[in-house]
Amino acid sequence: MNAPHPAAARTTEARQSLYRDMSPHHLTPLWEVLHALVPPQPASPCVPALWRYQQIRPFLQRAGEVITAEEAVRRVLILENPALRGQSAVTQSLYAGLQLILPGEVAPSHRHTQSALRFIVEGTGAYTSVDGERTTMHPGDFIITPSWTWHDHGNEVDEAVVWLDGLDIPMIRFFDAGFAENGSAKSQAVTRAEGASFARYGYNMAPVRGDAPFGATSPLFSYPYERSREALHQLERSAPLDAWDGYKLRYLNPLTGGTPMPTIQPFLQRLPAGFDGQPGRQTDGAVYSVVEGAGTAYIDGPAGPLRFDVEARDHFVVPSWQTLRLQSATGCVLFSFSDRPVQQALGIHKEERLA
Ligand code: GTQ
């Protein structure tokens, strides 16, 4: 190699000395980092990851042996993105965890700015209370805890109940906008009959008077699997198959037609038996929960192609702008959620359907 030209060496030296001298003044030259600051396309630090239920269920069991729900406040195993260990994040903007509540237990009342969704993975009959109304959990139900509402969870049946928690914790942390407080009572008083919110908003009807009870968040606490599964079932008989998504529906806020939660959009999709999907990518990384059946997710990103063979109760994450292709020989149902509403509000959401 040739020695650097003396003029070039002088320039390099002058630049280095500028950087050194101004660094104590908290100044950094943009031109050294510009390419990484505004990359030509998303370059997520996240990696795809799979949590096989069969592998991780024993750890939930052990968590149930070493701590009570009450002592833990929330007995949850966080699904951490392997590339973001220690950050309690499954993507840069989203949190996911599996929460266990055993017979007789109560997870005490609190409220926080962070919005939560629950997607029931195992067991029937535990409840969550939101602002005085209980909702009973069944596998596949999608349940909402709106921002700043009091909530506690309990189990008065004889089986363990496990659900997926999806929260906007990293997003709220990013904005430094989080508040939280504990309730005075362990579980809040029941002030409304179960099903009161469903009666008002669950039938394509709504009260004639009164404001949305939870602002931008859906007034429906629970979207029972029985009904969303029926919708997919009917679609499979009557609608054209989408070559990328199979039959995919978004959950909605019945008062707005938009997303049920301001920061998170959940989806439910059916891949019919023999489905061999096309590849696509989108800027919203997504967390998936396999509800029924089995299938394969092919994910292609900077780390190279990956293949996840998944079955019911498995969870996986697809980072932003990595290519996803879905297959199912025998048919399956997938629940998923992403930060799409936030990206859409900012006008930056992008989707690319490849073939
Ligand atoms: O159930 O309120 O997984 O506050 C993380 C934080 C669940 C909850 C989580 C929470 C909750």
The first and second tokens of residue 237, run together, are: 């008989």
How many whole angstroms separate alpha carbon 89 and alpha carbon 23? 31
CA of 162 to the centre of ligand 1 (A): 13
pLDDT at 200: 96
Residue 3: the pLDDT is 72
- How far, in Å, is the centroid of ligand 1 from the Cα of 148? 12
Residue 260, in any domain of the structure = yes
26 assigned to some structural domain: no
Q: What pLDDT was estimated at residue 16?
A: 98
19: in domain: no
pLDDT digits (tens, 9 = 90+) for 249-274: 999 999 999 999 999 999 999 999 99
Residue 9 lies in a domain: no
At residue 4, the pLDDT reads 73
Q: Is residue 223 part of a domain?
A: yes
For residue 232, what is the domain's CATH number?
Answer: 2.60.120.10
Q: Which domain holds residue 81?
A: 49-353
pLDDT band, residue 1 (cuts 50/70/90):
low
**pLDDT value at residue 186:** 86
What is the pTM (predicted TM-score) of this model?
Answer: 0.96
204-209 mean pLDDT = 96
HEC letters along the chain: CCCCCHHHHHHHHHHHHHHHHHHHHCCCCHHHCHHHHCCCCCCCCCCCEEECHHHHHHHHHHHHHHCCHHHHCCCEEECCCHHHCCCCCCCCCCEEEEEEECCCCEEEEEEECCCEEEEEEECCCEEEEECCEEEECCCCCEEEECCCCCEEEEECCCCCEEEEEEECHHHHHHCCCCCEEECCCCCCCCCECCCHHHHHHCCCCCCCCCCCCCCCCCCCCEECHHHHHHHHHHHHHHCCCECCCEEEEECCCCCCCCCCCCCCEEEEEEECCCEECCCEEECCCEEEEEEEEEEEEEEEECCEEEEEEEECCCEEEECCCCEEEEEECCCEEEEEEECHHHHHHHCCCCEEECC
Average pLDDT over residues 105-122: 97
Tell me the mean pLDDT in the region 3-12. Answer: 89
> How many separate domains does the chain show?
1
- State which ligand 1 atom lies nearest to the alpha carbon of 110: 2
Cα 165 to ligand 1 centroid, rounded to whole Å? 7
The residue-averaged pLDDT of 211-236 equals 97
Q: Does some domain include residue 5? A: no
- Averaged pLDDT for residues 297-326: 97
Position 271 in a domain: yes
- 309 located within any domain: yes
pLDDT surpasses 70 at 2? no
User: What does the mean pLDDT of the chain come to?
Assistant: 97
Choose one of 75, 76, 169 to mutate for the ligand 1 pocket test, by most ligand atoms within 8 angstroms of C-beta: 76
